[in-house]
C-alpha cells in the first residue's frame, strides 16, 4: 500500500480547487458542508473541463459530519448532478481526513478499481450541530419516539436537573480519552520541547507573509474559486490571511489555553469554513483525456501515537515512514508541507525529525530523519494563515504542492499532518 513500484498503475493529480477559507461564523455561515464541497468540486470540474460522466467515484473527508446525511460525498455528487452511477463514500480521520480521501482514491486507482476519482473534504464549523446534553435526550426521547400520554410529559420534565445542565454545550476540540483540548496538548508539547513563544510567532508570521505573497502574486488564482453566498454576494478570496501582521502585534496577543502559555489566536490555526477537491486519475487515463498531470502520488503512511503523551507528534513518525516507502530521504525533498495546527506543533515535529536521539528511540534508526530548511517548509503559507477547515486541509495541501512541483520544475514534496486521536499522516508527491 502506498509504495512506488514501476510496474504499477500510478495515480496522478490532474488538478485541485478549493473555496476561499474564511473564519467560522462569518461569510460562509449560510453555506453548509454540502454547499461548500459542491462549490469546490463544481469549480474543479469546470476549470479542467471534465465531462461529468467520466467521474467514477467520490471519496470525501469530513470531521463535523451532519447527523442526517453523514455520507457527505454522496450528497455532493447528487447536488452537483454527477451521474448517479458515480459511487461515493465519506471518511473521517480527524484533521487528516482530506489526505485520507486523496490516498484512498489513489489506492483505488492503483488497484485498477477506477480511472477517474474526485477526492476532497469540507467542514463547516459554523454549521456544527449543537449537542444537547445527554440528560435532555434521555428525558425526551420517549416522548419523541413513543406514544406519550400527558403524564409522560410531566415525568420527563421531572427528570431534568438544574438548569445549568440544560444549556447546550459549546462544541470543543477535546480528546475523548484524555479530555484535553487540543490547544492544551500543544501547550504541553511546547513546554516539553522547550519551544519559545517567539519561535512560534515567527513561524506564524512567516505563514501569513508567504500566504499573502501567494495571494498577491496570483499564485492561488488557479486553485481558489470564488463562491456565491446568496443574494448575489460573492466571496473571492481567503479571509484569514493577515499580510500586515507583525511580530510586535503577535507578541501582544494573550495566551489562549493557559495563563502562562505560549499559544495564542495568532500562532494557532483558527476555526474555519471551507472545502477543497482534487481530481485524481490513472496516469494513462489522464493522458488519454489530454491532461498534463501535475504530480503523482508516490507513497503515503498513517500512524498513531499515545494521545496522552504527545498528541500532535504523529507527523514525525509518519513522514519517515512515507519517505521510506517512497525510497527517498527528507533531504531529497524539494518541499516540505506540514499542516500548521499550531506553530508549536510544527516546531516540535521539526525538532523531532532533526533529533538523532528521537530517531534511535522511536524509529529504530541511527541517524536523524533530517533538518528542514525553512526555505523549503510551507512555501505558500499554512493552516495558521490560511485557516483549517478540518476535512479540507489535506486536499488543499495536495493541490498546492502538486501545483508547486509542476510550476517550479522540482521533483519531490512531502506532506505531514497531525490529527486528533494522536494520529499522524504523511504523503510523498513526485513530479510527473
Ligand X SMILES: CC(C)(COP(=O)(O)OP(=O)(O)OC[C@H]1O[C@@H](n2cnc3c(N)ncnc32)[C@H](O)[C@@H]1OP(=O)(O)O)[C@@H](O)C(=O)NCCC(=O)NCCS
Q: Is 46 helix (H, G, I), strand (E, B) or coil?
A: helix
Size of the site for another protein (CB under 8 A): 20
- CA pair distance 399, 396, nearest whole angstrom: 5
- CA pair distance 122, 21, nearest whole angstrom: 10
Measured from the CB atom, is 120 or 382 closer to ligand X?
382
Residue 409 dihedral angles phi and psi, to the nearest 5°: 65, 30
Measured from the CB atom, is 284 or 306 closer to another protein?
306
- CA pair distance 24, 170, nearest whole angstrom: 14
Q: How many CB atoms lie within 10 A of CB 118?
A: 30
Check binding of 192 to another protein (CB under 8 A).
yes
CB-based contacts of 318, cutoff 8 Å, min separation 6: 301, 302, 303, 416, 417, 424, 425, 426
Q: Which of 133, 358, 376, 432 binds another protein (CB under 8 A)?
A: 358
Q: How many CB atoms lie within 10 A of CB 349?
A: 28
Residues found near ligand X in the complex (CB under 6 A): 95, 173, 182-183, 208, 242, 245, 249-250, 253, 256, 265-266, 268-271, 341, 388
Minimum gap (Å) between residue 173 Cβ and ligand X: 5
189 binds, among another protein, ligand X, none (CB under 5 to 8 A by kind): another protein
Q: Which of 35, 36, 91, 352 binds another protein (CB under 8 A)?
A: 352
9 binds, among ligand X, another protein, none (CB under 5 to 8 A by kind): none
Q: How many CB atoms lie within 10 A of CB 145?
A: 8
Minimum gap (Å) between residue 186 Cβ and another protein: 12
Q: Give the β-pairing of 87-91 and 57-61.
A: parallel
Measured from the CB atom, is 29 or 355 closer to another protein?
355
Minimum gap (Å) between residue 249 Cβ and ligand X: 4
Measured from the CB atom, is 245 or 310 closer to another protein?
310
Stretch binding another protein (CB under 8 A), from 94-102, 185-193, 201-209, 396-404: 185-193
Q: Which residues of 18-28 are buried (b: 16+ CB within 10 A; e: fewer)?
A: bbbbbbbeebb
- CA pair distance 390, 387, nearest whole angstrom: 9
Alpha-carbon dihedral 385, 389, 392, 394, rounded to 10 degrees:
50
Minimum gap (Å) between residue 357 Cβ and another protein: 4
DSSP character string of 284-350: HHHHHTT----EEEEEEEEEE--TTT-TT-THHHHHHHHHHHHT--GGG-SEEEE--SBHHHHHHHH
Residue 418 is a catalytic residue: yes
Stretch binding another protein (CB under 8 A), from 50-58, 86-94, 148-156, 302-310: 302-310
Q: Which of 361, 366, 375, 409 binds another protein (CB under 8 A)?
A: 361
H-type helices in 245-314, by residue range?
Answer: 247-252, 283-288
Minimum gap (Å) between residue 425 Cβ and ligand X: 11
Minimum gap (Å) between residue 97 Cβ and ligand X: 11
Minimum gap (Å) between residue 360 Cβ and another protein: 7
CB 384 within 8 A of CB 208: yes
Residue 333 is a catalytic residue: no
Q: Which of 290, 240, 267 is nearest to 343 (CA)?
A: 267
Per-residue mark of binding to another protein, 260-299 (x: CB under 8 A): ----------------------------------------
CB-based contacts of 248, cutoff 8 Å, min separation 6: none
Check binding of 421 to another protein (CB under 8 A).
no
CB 295 within 8 A of CB 413: yes
286 binds, among another protein, ligand X, none (CB under 5 to 8 A by kind): none
To which residue does cell 504527545 refer? 310
Check binding of 423 to another protein (CB under 8 A).
no
Q: Which of 113, 129, 194, 371 binds another protein (CB under 8 A)?
A: 194
Q: Which of 77, 74, 34, 75 is nearest to 52 (CA)?
A: 77
194 binds, among another protein, ligand X, none (CB under 5 to 8 A by kind): another protein
- CA pair distance 116, 109, nearest whole angstrom: 8
Residue 95 is a catalytic residue: yes
* Count of CA atoms in the C-beta half-sphere (13 A) of 2: 21
287 binds, among another protein, ligand X, none (CB under 5 to 8 A by kind): none
59 binds, among ligand X, another protein, none (CB under 5 to 8 A by kind): none
Minimum gap (Å) between residue 311 Cβ and ligand X: 10
310 binds, among another protein, ligand X, none (CB under 5 to 8 A by kind): another protein
Contact residues toward another protein (CB under 8 A) are 189, 191-194, 306, 308-310, 313, 348, 351-352, 355-358, 360-362
Active site residues: 95, 388, 418
Amino acid at each position: 500500500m502506498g509504495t512506488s513500484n514501476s510496474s504499477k498503475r500510478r495515480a496522478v493529480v490532474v488538478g485541485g480547487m478549493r473555496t476561499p477559507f474564511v473564519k467560522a461564523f462569518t461569510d460562509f455561515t449560510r453555506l453548509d458542508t454540502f454547499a461548500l464541497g459542491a462549490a469546490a468540486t463544481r469549480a474543479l470540474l469546470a476549470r479542467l473541463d471534465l465531462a461529468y460522466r467520466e467521474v467514477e467515484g467520490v471519496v470525501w473527508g469530513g470531521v463535523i459530519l451532519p447527523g442526517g446525511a453523514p455520507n457527505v460525498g454522496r450528497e455532493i455528487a447528487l447536488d452537483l448532478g454527477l451521474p448517479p452511477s458515480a459511487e461515493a463514500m465519506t471518511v473521517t480521520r480527524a484533521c487528516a481526513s482530506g489526505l485520507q480521501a486523496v490516498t484512498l482514491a489513489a489506492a483505488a486507482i492503483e488497484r485498477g478499481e477506477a480511472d477517474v476519482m474526485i477526492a476532497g473534504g469540507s467542514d463547516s464549523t459554523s454549521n456544527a450541530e449543537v449537542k444537547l446534553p445527554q440528560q435532555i435526550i434521555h428525558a425526551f426521547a420517549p416522548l419523541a419516539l413513543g406514544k406519550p400520554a400527558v403524564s409522560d410529559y410531566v415525568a420527563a420534565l421531572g427528570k431534568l436537573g438544574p438548569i445549568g445542565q440544560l444549556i447546550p454545550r459549546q462544541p470543543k476540540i477535546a480528546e475523548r480519552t484524555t479530555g484535553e483540548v487540543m490547544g492544551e496538548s500543544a501547550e504541553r508539547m511546547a513546554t516539553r520541547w522547550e519551544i519559545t513563544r517567539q519561535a512560534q510567532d515567527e513561524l506564524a508570521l512567516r505563514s501569513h507573509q508567504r500566504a499573502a505573497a501567494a495571494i498577491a502574486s496570483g499564485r492561488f488564482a488557479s486553485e481558489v474559486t470564488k463562491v456565491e453566498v446568496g443574494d448575489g454576494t460573492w466571496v473571492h478570496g481567503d479571509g484569514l490571511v493577515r499580510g500586515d501582521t507583525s511580530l510586535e502585534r503577535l507578541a501582544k496577543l494573550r495566551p489562549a489555553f493557559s495563563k502562562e502559555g505560549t499559544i495564542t489566536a495568532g500562532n494557532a490555526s483558527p476555526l474555519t469554513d471551507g472545502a477543497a477537491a482534487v481530481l485524481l486519475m490513472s496516469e494513462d487515463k489522464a493522458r488519454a483525456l489530454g491532461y498534463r498531470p501535475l504530480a503523482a502520488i508516490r507513497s503515503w503512511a498513517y500512524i498513531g501515537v499515545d494521545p496522552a503523551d504527545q498528541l500532535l507528534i504523529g507527523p514525525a513518525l509518519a513522514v519517515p515512514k512515507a519517505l521510506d516507502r517512497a525510497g527517498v530521504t527528507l533531504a531529497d525533498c524539494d518541499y516540505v508541507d506540514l499542516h500548521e495546527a499550531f506553530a508549536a506543533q510544527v516546531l516540535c515535529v521539526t525538532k523531532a525529525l532533526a533529533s538523532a536521539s528521537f530517531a534511535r528511540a522511536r524509529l529504530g534508526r541511527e541517524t536523524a530523519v533530517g533538518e528542514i530548511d525553512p526555505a523549503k517548509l510551507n512555501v505558500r503559507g499554512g493552516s495558521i494563515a490560511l485557516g483549517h477547515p478540518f476535512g479540507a486541509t489535506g486536499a488543499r495541501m495536495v493541490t498546492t504542492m502538486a501545483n508547486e512541483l509542476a510550476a517550479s520544475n522540482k521533483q519531490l514534496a512531502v506532506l505531514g499532518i497531525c490529527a486528533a486521536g494522536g494520529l499522524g499522516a504523511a504523503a510523498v508527491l513526485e513530479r510527473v
